[in-house]
A and B are shown apart, each in its own frame.
Chain A
């Protein structure tokens, strides 16, 4: 028995079904992206179709007999996670204030939490763009959440540089980094949330002829982002694209932000 779809969703359903199975080609993937963007992140029908068909596809995964993991798989994973463990006090603060405190229900966060998050992101962007000048986060709002200290401490170091992406509309995005080091931070404001559960992914390039390498995933919370990323020591270019949940090993869409370093 099929549900009645709201107008304009027959084609969306067809594309989503193929997408969750991995069967879309690039042209259809582009059409799906464009349609989901057109319908907007608040389209309930699109969200319902994505959720239900993602679950149905997951059923195909769970229909398989489980595979035994290698003896050290768990330890390797935890080791890798702990190596990223400073993968953000700031990022985790944003995640906490956005999703954890509201119980992950997707309900609107309390106003005070929202203001805290906005301060964090605004301070981070301001601090980032002020690098090289006289002012850093010290001069910004006094009620700094504890989690901002890592980012602001990073930015405050004299050899920290900022690569700002050319602005796209009202969106501001920049990467704070130190030459020769992998650790970096991406900060932004007024970013549009990718639709359909997709995520922003940062890429870096160390050779103009070389591949784009993964640097980290990030999601704006009410338009703002402060996230730890990892770039190569000789980065020459940075780019941001929109990727499926979990990211990709190589950009699958045209970057929405790009800059040379």
Chain B
């Protein structure tokens, strides 16, 4: 199983306090992971305002149902990022369906919003970012590309196969091999 880190233990304590209605603890969790959540949502939906709404909804999901998070299933931040990612992908797929009908394009200027602003991040998050980026650089480019298309561009394996002109089995294989490498390099495993 995933070994809990010192910071994860702190996060779990915050969730326990959230479960008791402690909005200071809720605020602290948002301060800690809100910028990362928005960054993820923004990378996927390409709209700053909607990205913030999506990330807030994910946090509110934790507030409304704190028991939805179970410690044995991983870290609090893993749960939060999963919730944000899922909502962002849902949004994009609904919007794409409408866009196919309206043939509208997202305003490219939205993507560039906030450039130049610096977010001061917690030291452990800075360290983890560096570690994950180093890990990604070690993953073969063909595998990394599939992971990025799936995770950041909300594409299914079938879509990726069609776009890259690959057999579906090849896409699945690259996905699995890439994630196995990422898991090995990123996840601290207990025992």
Contacts and interface: CB of A to CB of B under 8 A. Distances in A.
Interface of A: 1-2, 13-14, 17-18, 20-25, 28, 47-48, 50-70, 73-74, 76-78, 80-82, 84-85, 87, 91-92, 94-96, 98-100, 103-106, 197, 199, 216-219, 221, 227, 244-250, 252
B74 A199 contact: no
A67 B175 contact: no
B77 to A, nearest CB: 6
B19 A106 contact: no
A106 B74 CA distance: 12
A64 B40 CA distance: 7
Nearest to B120: A66
A63 B71 contact: no
Given A52-B183, A100-B19, A244 B86 contact: yes
Interface string B17-29: 0011101001100
Nearest to B157: A23
Chain B's interface size range is 35 or more
B39 to A, nearest CB: 4
A65 B119 contact: yes
Contacts of B2: 51-52, 55
Interface string B146-186: 01101110111110100000000000100110011011101
28 contacts: A14-B176, A21-B175, A23-B175, A52-B187, A53-B179, A53-B183, A55-B75, A57-B78, A58-B82, A59-B128, A59-B187, A61-B37, A61-B85, A65-B119, A66-B121, A67-B119, A68-B119, A69-B52, A92-B20, A95-B67, A106-B71, A244-B86, A245-B68, A245-B83, A245-B86, A246-B61, A249-B87, A249-B90
Contact of B59 (A60, A77, A92): A77
Contacts of A55: 2, 74-75, 78, 183, 186-187
B26 A58 contact: no
Given A64-B43, A65-B119, A248-B87, 20 more contacts: A17-B176, A18-B157, A23-B150, A25-B157, A54-B78, A54-B79, A55-B186, A57-B81, A59-B187, A60-B182, A64-B39, A67-B38, A68-B118, A73-B56, A96-B19, A99-B70, A106-B70, A217-B61, A219-B68, A250-B90
Interface of B: 1-2, 12, 15-16, 19-21, 23, 26-27, 30-31, 34-40, 42-43, 48, 51-52, 56, 58-75, 77-79, 81-87, 89-91, 94, 114, 117-119, 121, 125, 128-129, 132-133, 135-136, 147-148, 150-152, 154-158, 160, 172, 175-176, 179-180, 182-184, 186-187, 189
